[in-house]
């Protein structure tokens, strides 16, 4: 293919995708190429200026809001997605924003750690293939009704042509500390968890320590819940508990978790943390305070609650 032919293909594929709203699968089928080639052509079109994207927020929105909230929290960045009319719609909105943030942070040669939550699982479905990188599963599987789990999710990364995966073939929570220690010693699991010492970016979710706020909370015993609450737990991240100041809370539950440690997350240079709903706010604030979140992706409701927690005045909308 000549340079002129290639340039023409960039223009035609970009027009199909951005102006005619055709899917990558449809474009690939019509042109006899793979959807991964379509994705690479679209990326090249953006990088070379064939496609220039301008984002113009509505005039009534305060475009400085996210920056002000990040400054008050002490986070590098806060990304606010819309709250939907249902938990599922809100989760979808946050997942799309999370996918965009992850794509912006992952560079060729990076090591990306990915925890599991329903929001993160949805976000992965919205990701285009990543550049050549390693993806490390940070927690074992935690099946939830109506959703997949971390093992399903790691397979989505494995199907990306340039990605090498490091799975954790274990449940997130096992029956007792001895079993957990044995699982962590298994060669494949040990290799994945060791890789978590050298992450460039991690993607995690914060769940409020309540029945509805955390997928871990319903999986533990009453004694474990009471012990965690008595120790000051406000939230969990990848099965690791912490208090309102972001300090690690150690209870007997900690020894049953097969996954990334609190300290490994603290040492990771960039941790993108997702949460939504008002009850997530205290945990998101604590995650930033404790050093296990550098970027926060949340919905409008969580952002408003965070503003209240950090003393950010909430302006009345124009009448």
* 95-113 mean pLDDT: 95
pLDDT tens profile 1-27: 788 888 899 999 899 998 888 888 889
CA dihedral 252, 258, 259, 264 (to 10 degrees): 50
Specify the pLDDT at position 52: 84
**pTM attached to this predicted model:** 0.76
pLDDT tens profile 245-255: 999 999 989 99
Triad 261, 102, 70: Cα angle to 5° = 80
Specify the pLDDT at position 316: 46
Specify the pLDDT at position 314: 46
Residue 210: pLDDT band with limits 50, 70, 90 = very high
What the chain holds in terms of domains, given with CATH numbers, is 3-47 (1.10.10), 65-309 (3.40.50.1360)
Please give the mean pLDDT across all residues of the chain. Answer: 89
Q: Is 5 exposed, middle or buried (0-12, 13-18, 19+ CB in 10 A)?
A: exposed
Specify the pLDDT at position 147: 63
């Amino acid at each position: 293919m000549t340079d002129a032919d290639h340039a023409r293909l960039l223009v035609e594929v970009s027009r199909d995708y951005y102006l005619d709203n055709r899917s990558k699968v449809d474009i690939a089928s019509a042109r006899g190429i793979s959807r991964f080639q379509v994705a690479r052509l679209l990326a090249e079109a953006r990088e070379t200026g064939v496609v220039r994207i301008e984002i113009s927020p509505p005039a009534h929105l305060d475009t400085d809001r996210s920056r002000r909230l990040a400054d008050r929290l002490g986070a590098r960045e806060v990304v606010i997605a819309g709250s939907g009319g249902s938990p599922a719609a809100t989760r979808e909105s946050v997942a799309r924003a999370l996918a965009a943030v992850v794509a912006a942070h992952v560079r060729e040669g990076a090591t990306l750690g990915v925890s599991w939550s329903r929001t993160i699982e949805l976000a992965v479905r919205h990701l285009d293939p990543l550049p050549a990188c390693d993806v490390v599963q940070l927690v074992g599987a935690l099946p939830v009704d109506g959703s997949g789990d971390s093992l399903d999710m790691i397979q989505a990364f494995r199907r990306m042509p340039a990605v090498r995966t490091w799975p954790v073939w274990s449940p997130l929570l096992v029956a007792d500390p001895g079993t957990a220690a044995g699982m962590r010693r298994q060669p494949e699991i040990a290799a994945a968890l060791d890789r978590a010492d050298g992450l460039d970016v991690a993607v995690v979710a914060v769940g409020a320590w309540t029945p509805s706020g955390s997928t871990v909370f319903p999986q533990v015993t009453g004694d474990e819940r009471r012990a965690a609450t008595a120790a000051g737990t406000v939230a969990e991240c990848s099965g690791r508990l912490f208090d309102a100041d972001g300090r690690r809370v150690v209870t007997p539950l900690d020894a049953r978790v097969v996954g990334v440690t609190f300290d490994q997350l603290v040492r990771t240079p960039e941790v993108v943390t997702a949460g939504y709903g008002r009850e997530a706010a205290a945990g998101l604030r604590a995650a930033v305070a404790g050093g296990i979140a550098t970027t926060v992706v949340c919905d409008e409701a969580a952002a408003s609650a965070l503003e209240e927690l950090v003393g950010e005045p909430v302006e009345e909308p124009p009448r």
